[in-house]
C-alpha cells in the first residue's frame, strides 16, 4: 500500500479499516475480527530486523544518545533479574523515590534511604542518574495540604530543593525541576495548570525553582518535563503552543533551564500521528537552544487486540514511528523508557486492559526477554543520525 509522507503505515492501515467499515453488511464482531485480521496482514510484513545482540545503551551511545529507564521504585531493590537487565540495557536510571510523597514523611524530615540505594546502584554499575521530580502538583505528601500555604510556600519550596538537589549534587545528570505545569483545560492564562505552587507563589514559581536548583547543583542539566504533546489532536496542539510559550518566556528572562522533557506516553490505538508536526515541535524547542530528552516513553496497549503477536507488532510500530522522528532532531540527547520490563509498569495498575490480559508494552517481557519493542527501539538508535 503506497503511503504518502504524511501517512504512516498505521494511518494507511486504519484507512483500510475505515473502508471496511463502509461495507456495512458485516456484524460488529466480524468487522472487528476482519479489522484485526487486516492489522495483522499490514503489520505481518513489517520487518523489525536488528543486527546482532548489542544492548540498547550501546546502540544509543554509538550515536551520542543516552538510553535509560525508570525501573519501578519498589521492585529494583528486590529483583536481581531486573537489576541484571537494567545493567545490561541501560546507561541511565531514574530513581523512583525522589518525589515529595516518597521523600517527606513529615514537614520536618527527609528520607533519602531508598533514593540513595538507587543512586548508589547506578554509580556502582557506571550508570548515570536523572532526578524526577522537584516540583509537581501531584505526589504531594498527605501533610502538605494542611501545612503549606501562601505565607510559607516559598520557604517550603526553597528548603525542599536545597535539601534534595543538594543531597544529590554532582550525582544527577539532569533533573526534572518542574513537572507538568501546563494544562490548557484548566482555563488559566497561557494554559497554566492549577497547582498549589501557582496559587501560593504565582507564575514566578517555575523560574524560582530553576534558580534554586542551579545554585545547589550547577553541574546538573535542568529540565522542564511534560506530557500530552505527541499527537495531531487539538488538545495536543494547544498544549504544544502553551509549552513553547512557557519555554520562550523562561529563556527570555534568563531562567537557568537547559532542556525540555517530552514524556511520550504514547497510545497504541491513536492514529492521529503527524510526523511533520512532531518534527516542527522538536525543531522549535531546539531553536531555543534547549536540549530535549524523551523522558517517560511507553505505549498504552489497553485498546489493542488480545492477540499477542499482533499487539507486539503494533506496539513496536508505534515505538519505531515515533522515535525515528524524534531522534532525527539532534537536540534529542536521551531516551528513557518508563520501565524496562512488562513485569513492572505503572500501566498495569493505571491503564488495565478490559480483557484483564497482562499489558505488553516495554522492551522486555515479564521474564526479561527482549520483545519486538526492543527491536523497534534498537532500530531507531541504529538508524539515528550521529550527535
Q: Please tell me whether residue 275 binds ligand G3I under the rule CB under 6 A.
A: no
Show which residues are catalytic. 180, 296
Q: Is 96 in the site for ligand G3I (CB under 6 A)?
A: yes
CB of 31 to ligand G3I, least distance (A): 33
| Residue 131 found at the interface with ligand G3I (CB under 6 A) | no
Q: Which is nearer to ligand G3I, 296 or 365 (CB)?
A: 296
CB atoms within 10 A of CB 144: 15
CB 305 within 8 A of CB 39: yes
Q: Which of 39, 73, 129, 375 binds ligand G3I (CB under 6 A)?
A: 73
Minimum CB separation of residue 353 from ligand G3I in Å reads 17
**Residues 345 to 384: which contact ligand G3I by CB under 6 A?**
346
Whole-number Cα distances in Å, 252 to 9, 170, 187, 259, 332: 40, 27, 24, 14, 22
Rounded-to-integer distance, Cα 321 and Cα 313, Å:
12
Question: Contact 135/179 with Cβ under 8 angstroms?
Answer: yes
| Helices 205-216 and 234-252, axial angle in degrees (round to 10) | 60
Contact between 112 and ligand G3I by CB under 6 A: the answer reads no
Residue 74 near ligand G3I by CB under 6 A: yes
Cβ distance to ligand G3I smaller for residue 49 or 350 = 350
Q: Site mask, ligand G3I, residues 147-186, x = CB under 6 A?
A: --------------------------------x-------
- Which positions from 281 through 300 interact with ligand G3I, judged by CB under 6 A? 296
Closest residue by Cα to residue 156 from 114, 110, 189, 87? 110
Yes or no: say if 380 and 373 are a contact pair by the CB < 8 Å rule: no
Cβ neighbours around 315 below 10 Å, total: 25
Can residue 99 be called a binding residue for ligand G3I (CB under 6 A)? yes
Contact pick of 87, 139, 216, 286 for ligand G3I (by CB under 6 A): 139
Binds ligand G3I by CB under 6 A, chosen from 195, 220, 263, 380: 263
Kindly give the pairing relationship between strand 128-136 and strand 259-262: unpaired
CB 265 to ligand G3I: min, Å = 7
Of residues 113 and 356, the one with the C-beta less far from ligand G3I: 113
Could you list the beta-strand ranges (E) of the chain.
Answer: 66-70, 92-94, 128-136, 172-179, 221-226, 259-262, 265-267, 291-300, 332-337
Q: Does 104 bind ligand G3I (CB under 6 A)?
A: no
Strand spans (E) along 189-280: 221-226, 259-262, 265-267
Q: How far is the CB of 19 from ligand G3I (least distance, A)?
A: 36
Which stretches of the chain bind ligand G3I, using CB under 6 A? 73-74, 96, 99, 139, 179, 227, 263, 296, 346
Amino acid at each position: 500500500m503506497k503511503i504518502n509522507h504524511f501517512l504512516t503505515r498505521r494511518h494507511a492501515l486504519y484507512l483500510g479499516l475505515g473502508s471496511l467499515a463502509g461495507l456495512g453488511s458485516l456484524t460488529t464482531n466480524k468487522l472487528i475480527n476482519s479489522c484485526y485480521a487486516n492489522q495483522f496482514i499490514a503489520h505481518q510484513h513489517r520487518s523489525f530486523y536488528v543486527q546482532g545482540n548489542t544492548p540498547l545503551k550501546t546502540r544509543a551511545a554509538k550515536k551520542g544518545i543516552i538510553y535509560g529507564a525508570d525501573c519501578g521504585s519498589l521492585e529494583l531493590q528486590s529483583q536481581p533479574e531486573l537489576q541484571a537487565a537494567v545493567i545490561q540495557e541501560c546507561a541511565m536510571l531514574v530513581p523512583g523515590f525522589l518525589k515529595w510523597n516518597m521523600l517527606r514523611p513529615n514537614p520536618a524530615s527527609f528520607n533519602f534511604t531508598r533514593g540513595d540505594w538507587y543512586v548508589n546502584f547506578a554509580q556502582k554499575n557506571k550508570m548515570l542518574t536523572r532526578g524526577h521530580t522537584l516540583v509537581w502538583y501531584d505526589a504531594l505528601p498527605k501533610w502538605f495540604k494542611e501545612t503549606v500555604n501562601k505565607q510559607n510556600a516559598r520557604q517550603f519550596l526553597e528548603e525542599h530543593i536545597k535539601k534534595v538537589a543538594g543531597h544529590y549534587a554532582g550525582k544527577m545528570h539532569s533533573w526534572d525541576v518542574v513537572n507538568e505545569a501546563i494544562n490548557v483545560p484548566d482555563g488559566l492564562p497561557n494554559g497554566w495548570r492549577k497547582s498549589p505552587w501557582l496559587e501560593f507563589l504565582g507564575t514566578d514559581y517555575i523560574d524560582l525553582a530553576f534558580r534554586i536548583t542551579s545554585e545547589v547543583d550547577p553541574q546538573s542539566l535542568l529540565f522542564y518535563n511534560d506530557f500530552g504533546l505527541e499527537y495531531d489532536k487539538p488538545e495536543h496542539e494547544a498544549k504544544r503552543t502553551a509549552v513553547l510559550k512557557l519555554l520562550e518566556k523562561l529563556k527570555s528572562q534568563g531562567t537557568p533551564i537547559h532542556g525540555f522533557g517530552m514524556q511520550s506516553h504514547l497510545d497504541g490505538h491513536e492514529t492521529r500521528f503527524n510526523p511533520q508536526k512532531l518534527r516542527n515541535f522538536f525543531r522549535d524547542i531546539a531553536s531555543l537552544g534547549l536540549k530535549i530528552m524523551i523522558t517517560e516513553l511507553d505505549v498504552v496497549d489497553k485498546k489493542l487486540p488480545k492477540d499477542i503477536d499482533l499487539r507486539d507488532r503494533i506496539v513496536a510500530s508505534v515505538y519505531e514511528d515515533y522515535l525515528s522522528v524524534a531522534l532525527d532532531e539532534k537536540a534529542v540527547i536521551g531516551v528513557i523508557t518508563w520501565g524496562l520490563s512488562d513485569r513492572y509498569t505503572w500501566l498495569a495498575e493505571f491503564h488495565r486492559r478490559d480483557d484483564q490480559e497482562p499489558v505488553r508494552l516495554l522492551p522486555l517481557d515479564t521474564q526479561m526477554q527482549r520483545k519486538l519493542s526492543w527491536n523497534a527501539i534498537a532500530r531507531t538508535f541504529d538508524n539515528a543520525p550521529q550527535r
